[in-house]
Amino acid sequence: MPKVIAIAGKGGVGKTTIGGMLVRYIVEEMKKGPVLAVDADPNSNLNELLGIKVKETIGRVRETMKKDVPTGMTKDIWFEYKVNEAVIEGTGFDLLVMGRPEGPGCYCAANSLAKQSIDSLKENYTYVVVDNEAGMEHMSRLVTQNVGILYVVSDPTPRGLLTAGRIMELIKELNLNIHKTYTVVNRIREEEIGVLRQIGKQKGIEIIGTIRNDEMLVKNDRDGESIFILDRDSLALTDAYSIFKRTMD
């Protein structure tokens, strides 16, 4: 059984960046691959951060199921074959892109086949890292069940922290099977740390760690570079690795 790690949080807080840093951490620091990175955001860009081109998505496979299954082949075998084909190989990790969510029409059969195929695919990996879209829709969907660790990312503002707190509440209400949940505050500046920890304390939100705002990361992103070439001593990687070290056992 792989350990599934998911990243959630509102739009633009740094979910994909943290997901990318986590993939690099598992591959380079823990050396405990293979990792399956799952891009579960329809506006996917995890692939860019990992330096990989997307060829196929689960959304597309699902849409072609109605017309493309050859006669004599069962749909589940076809689906499994297609899902395996959609896996893109990186160095030390693979990437699966979920793509667009359901359009009009019923995709129930295709969805349950997708779930089956992804579940059996996951068994080939030690870790599965899921980058979610903003909002909570995915939390109750296929790829985010039986989660070992959920990192809820917040921006460095009091309001952002309250939103992260609400996400935590919602997760409790949804009764999802999540083993551990941690709140991470991203893009923080030194002078903000004290105030945010205080607010966290008042609201009962424990901040497991903070990641500093990092100009090197901004430049890396602007240049469209992979997270794998970001300087190992950059502020963001240093802080993120320290959080992973404490939480990933």
Ligand X SMILES: Nc1ncnc2c1ncn2[C@@H]1O[C@H](COP(=O)(O)OP(=O)(O)OP(=O)(O)O)[C@@H](O)[C@H]1O
Residues making contact with ligand X (CB under 6 A): 9, 11-17, 41, 134, 186-187, 211, 213-214, 217-218, 221, 236
Per CB under 5 A, 186 contacts Mg ion: no
Applying CB under 5 A, does 47 fall inside the site for Mg ion?
A: no
Smallest gap, in angstroms, from Cβ of residue 132 to Mg ion?
8
Using the rule CB under 5 A, is 210 a contact of Mg ion? Answer: no
Pick one of ligand X, Mg ion, none as the site partner of residue 149 (Cβ within 5 to 8 A by kind). none
* Cα–chain center distance at 113: 21
* Integer Cα distance of 163 and 137 in angstroms: 15
Q: What one-character-per-residue DSSP string does 21-69 give?
A: HHHHIIIIII----EEEEEE-TT--HHHHTT------HHHHHHHHHHHP
The residues, ordered by sequence, that sit 6+ positions from 126 with a Cβ below 8 Å of its Cβ are: 2, 3, 26, 32, 33, 34, 35
Between 16 and 144, name the residue whose CB sits nearer to Mg ion: 16
What is the Cα Rg of the chain in Å?
18
Q: Would you say 24 or 82 has its CB closer to ligand X? A: 24
Verify binding: residue 132, Mg ion, rule CB under 5 A: no
- Rounded to whole angstroms, the maximal C-alpha distance in the chain is 65
Tell me the number of residues near Mg ion by CB under 5 A.
2
List 207's β-bridge partners, or say none.
183
For residue 35, the minimal CB distance to ligand X (Å) is: 18
The nearer residue to Mg ion, 80 or 131, going by C-beta atoms, is 131
Considering the complex, what minimum distance in angstroms separates the CB of residue 17 from ligand X?
A: 3
The one among 3, 10, 16, 128 contacting Mg ion by CB under 5 A: 16
Which residue, 15 or 24, is less far from Mg ion as judged by CB?
A: 15
Of 16 and 210, nearer to Mg ion (C-beta) is: 16
What is the dihedral angle through the alpha carbons of 76, 82, 88, 89, rounded to the nearest 10 degrees?
70
User: What is the Cα–Cα distance from 116 to 103, expressed in whole angstroms?
Assistant: 20
Place of tokens 């979910």: 15
Q: Which amino acid does the sequence have at 77?
A: I
CB nearer to Mg ion: pick between 65 and 184 = 184
The runs of H, that is alpha helices, within 157-192 are 158-174
| Least distance from ligand X to the Cβ atom of residue 156, Å | 9
Q: Smallest gap, in angstroms, from Cβ of residue 105 to ligand X?
A: 26
Task: Name the token pair of 73.
Answer: 């082949």
Asked if 57 touches Mg ion (CB under 5 A), the answer is: no
**Min. distance of Cβ 153 from ligand X in angstroms?**
6
Question: In this structure, what are the phi and psi dihedrals at residue 99, rounded to the nearest 5 degrees?
Answer: 75, -155
- List interacting residues with Mg ion (CB under 5 A): 15-16
